[in-house]
């Protein structure tokens, strides 16, 4: 862990035009949370003295998402050098190391940041350390020009490169660690006399070199440096993160029959010996206890599931679902804001919302908690060991006492005392021979009609 003073400046003023979105680019999600939040969490692991963001005009939603970290507005956008300069008010008197990162490059690892800070503090020291990578197609990326001694001489933007420089495969990711005592002095000296008429942050390297300072680079794997500019890039980043999350889960003792079809969220917690079938999706906020089995095609979000539970196939656990140890949630069952207590069973075709299902209670197929009258939501409370007959409609607010039974097909509108039977049912009529007479009559009518 890096204890020397460190700050970070996150550039996020870009409009993200190619996302074709009404939402700022950095708020698009990867594994269930905003890409900016992934980056903020990685940065927070250094316990930096401060993190400041540079955002564009009208990006209050980004500022809200990173609160209480300060956001500086860059308007107009005159280039990456100009963007970092916009963070100056938030960095007043700061003199440690400053990490400059891009909000749309959220997958840089803690280890990579560590390596950059280490290089920055090495002997001989490096005034700036740039994160390099080798993309398959260097295209429009800035090229890192490395001197004979292995130190970094310059970053040359593609548009300014000589044909020889364009052949360089080592590119600028944009991430930098810079000596904070000198950073803003150099930024103030950057001009915009170049192909794009922008203030290039990359010019900082040559300014530092001209001041007799050494600069260096560190390389990181391509997948950490996926920059997200389009929905297609977002999908690639999602795939990278999912692969990582699945590997972590399996390393921690989770079995996945078909890992590629299981989708996890950044915060999914899975216990040992959890077994996950194909095509299971975990939205944010799910925890699953040891030995639990999640059968295929289940969808879980904001739910806590205990140990040795069986969920699915085709189950849906919505926010506020709390399923205790050894309970059973079967096919086509939806649970929302409800606690299913120890060993209770909701095995088939049910909706249980705003409810408690007591320990070892059994909920028959097709049972529905009618929790909403179009205006208010009400609760259903089902006692320990209760037996709810198939196709019961429980009209909330309603309480079913411990050990009570409801008859199949009943509509329960009043509380049922413990150990009672409650049923609403029209008397059964049996008309002997009726069906046979009916068939005979209708068949004759049909025959007559065809003869016409
Ligand atoms: C930049 C680098 C290039 C590098 C590439 C990596 C410069 C001059 N060039 O080029 O060497 O290979 O990134 O992706 O730095 N931003 C602002 N305000 C601005 C301009 C940019 O906040 O005025 C932010 C953007 O939101 C984005 C980042 O800075 O997060 C990079 O900007 P972008 O315009 O994509 O830079 P490139 O031209 O790709
Ligand atoms: Mg770019």
**pLDDT of 136:** 94
Q: Is residue 447 part of a domain?
A: no
Q: Which of 174, 192, 201 to mutate to test the pocket of ligand 1 (most atoms within 8 A of CB)?
A: 174
171 close to ligand 1 (CB < 6 Angstrom): yes
CA of 93 to the centre of ligand 1 (A): 26
Q: Which of 225, 259, 291 is the last residue of a domain?
A: 225
For the Cβ of 200 lying below 6 angstroms from any atom of ligand 1, the answer is yes
Based on the fold, state whether residues 160 and 15 are members of the same structural domain: yes
Q: Is the CB of 242 under 6 A from ligand 1?
A: no
CB of 12 sitting under 6 A from ligand 1? yes
Does residue 237 fall inside a structural domain? yes
Name the stretches of the chain with pLDDT < 50: 1
CA-closest residue to ligand 1 atom 12: 141
pTM of the predicted protein model: 0.92
Residue 179 sits in the same domain as residue 138: yes
- Residue 275 Cα, ligand 1 centroid: separation in angstroms? 43
User: Are 397 and 369 a contacting pair, CB within 8 Å?
Assistant: no
Q: How far is the CA of 123 from the centre of ligand 1 (A)?
A: 30
Q: How many domains does the chain have?
A: 2
Q: Does 348 qualify as catalytic in the annotation? A: yes
Query: For the domain that residue 344 is a member of, what is the CATH number?
Result: 2.160.10.10
**293 within domain boundaries:** yes
- 404 vs 270, 384, 385, CA distance in Å? 35, 9, 8
Q: Which of 8, 80, 108, 204 to mutate to test the pocket of ligand 1 (most atoms within 8 A of CB)?
A: 80
Asked if 389 and 354 sit in the same domain, the reply is yes
Any domain includes 450: no
Distances (CA, A) of 231 to 17, 50, 182, 320: 11, 31, 38, 31
Domain match, 313 and 417 both: yes
CATH number of the domain to which 187 belongs: 3.90.550.10
Residues 217 and 253 in one domain: no
Task: Confirm whether 442 is domain-assigned.
Answer: no
| Separation between Cα atoms, residue 32 and residue 283, nearest integer Å | 6
Find out whether the peptide bond into 423 is cis, omega within 30 degrees of 0: no
Residue 252 forms part of a structural domain: yes
Task: Report pLDDT for 334.
Answer: 98
Query: Does one domain contain both 277 and 369?
Result: yes
Residue 3 has a pLDDT of 62
Residue where a domain terminates, one of 159, 191, 225: 225
CA 228 to ligand 2 centroid distance, Å: 8
Q: Which ligand is nearest to the CA of 72?
A: 1
- Residue 184 makes CB contacts below 8 A (sequence gap 6+) with 85, 88, 91
pLDDT in tens, 206-230: 999 999 999 999 999 999 998 899 9
CA–CA dist 112, 348 (Å, integer):
49
- Cβ contacts of 219 within 8 Å, gap of 6 or more: 131, 132, 133, 134, 170
What number does the ligand 1 atom closest to the CA of 198 have? Answer: 8
Distance CA 112, CA 110 (A): 5
Instruction: Choose among 249, 156, 147: nearest CA to 195.
Output: 156
**Claim to verify: residue 65 and residue 212 sit in the same structural domain:** yes
* pLDDT for residue 452: 65
- Candidate list 69, 82, 299, 348, residue with the active-site label: 348
Phi, psi torsion values for 249, nearest 5 degrees = -65, -45
Dig out the tokens for 188 from the structure.
């103030």
End-to-end CA distance of the chain: 94
Residues 418, 319, single domain; the answer is yes
- The answer to whether residue 194 sits within a structural domain is yes
Same domain, residue pair 95 and 206:
yes
SS3 state at 382: strand
SS3 126: coil
Ligand 1, closest atom to CA 15?
Answer: 26
H or E element in which residue 329 lies: strand 328-331
245 and 288 in a single domain? The answer is yes
Final residue belonging to a domain, choices 209, 225, 241: 225
Which domain range does residue 10 map to? 6-225
Whether residues 348 and 366 fall in one domain = yes
Give yes or no: residues 214 and 100 share one domain.
yes
Q: Tell me the CA–centroid distance for residue 229 and ligand 2, in Å.
A: 7
**Atom of ligand 1 minimally distant from the CA of 200:** 8
- Establish if 438 belongs to a structural domain: no
Nearest ligand to the C-alpha of residue 205? 1
């Amino acid at each position: 862990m890096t204890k020397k003073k460190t700050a970070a400046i996150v550039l996020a003023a870009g409009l993200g035009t190619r996302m074709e979105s009404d939402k700022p680019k950095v708020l698009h999600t990867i594994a269930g949370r905003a890409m900016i939040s992934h980056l903020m969490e990685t940065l927070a692991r250094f316990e930096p003295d401060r993190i400041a963001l540079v955002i564009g005009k009208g990006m209050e939603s980004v500022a809200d998402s990173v609160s209480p970290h300060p956001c500086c507005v860059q308007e107009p956008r005159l280039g990456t050098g100009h963007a970092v300069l916009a963070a100056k008010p938030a960095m007043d008197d700061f003199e440690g190391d400053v990490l400059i990162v891009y909000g749309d490059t959220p997958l840089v690892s803690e280890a990579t940041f560590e390596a950059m800070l280490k290089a920055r503090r090495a002997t001989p020291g490096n005034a700036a350390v740039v994160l390099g990578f080798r993309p398959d197609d260097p295209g429009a990326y800035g090229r890192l020009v490395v001197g004979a001694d292995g130190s970094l001489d310059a970053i040359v933007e593609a548009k300014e490169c000589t044909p020889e420089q364009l052949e360089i495969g080592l590119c600028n990711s944009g991430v930098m660690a810079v000596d904070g005592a000198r950073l803003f002095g150099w930024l103030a000296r950057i001009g915009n006399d170049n192909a794009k008429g922008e203030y290039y942050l990359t010019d900082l390297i040559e300014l530092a070199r001209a001041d007799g300072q050494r600069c260096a680079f560190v390389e990181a794997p391509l997948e950490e440096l996926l920059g997200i500019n389009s929905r297609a890039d977002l999908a690639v980043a999602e795939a990278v993160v999912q692969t990582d999350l699945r590997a972590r889960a399996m390393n921690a003792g989770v079995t996945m029959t078909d890992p590629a079809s299981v989708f996890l969220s950044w915060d999914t917690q899975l216990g040992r010996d959890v077994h996950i079938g194909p095509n299971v999706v975990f939205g944010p906020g799910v925890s699953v206890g040891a030995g639990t089995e999640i059968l295929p095609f289940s969808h879980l979000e904001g739910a806590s599931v205990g140990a040795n539970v069986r969920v699915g196939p085709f189950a849906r656990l919505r926010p506020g679902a709390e399923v205790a140890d050894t309970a059973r949630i079967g096919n086509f069952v939806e649970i929302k804001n409800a606690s299913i207590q120890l060993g209770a069973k909701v095995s088939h075709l049910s909706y249980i919302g705003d409810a408690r299902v007591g320990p070892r209670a059994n909920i028959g197929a097709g049972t529905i908690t009618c929790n909403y009258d179009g205006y208010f939501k009400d609760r259903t409370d089902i006692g320990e060991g209760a037996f709810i007959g198939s196709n019961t409609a429980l009209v909330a607010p309603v309480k079913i006492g411990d050990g009570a039974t409801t008859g199949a097909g009943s509509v329960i509108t009043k509380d049922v005392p413990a150990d009672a039977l409650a049923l609403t049912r029209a008397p059964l009529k049996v008309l002997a021979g009726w069906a046979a007479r009916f068939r005979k009559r209708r068949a004759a009518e049909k025959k007559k009609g065809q003869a016409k």
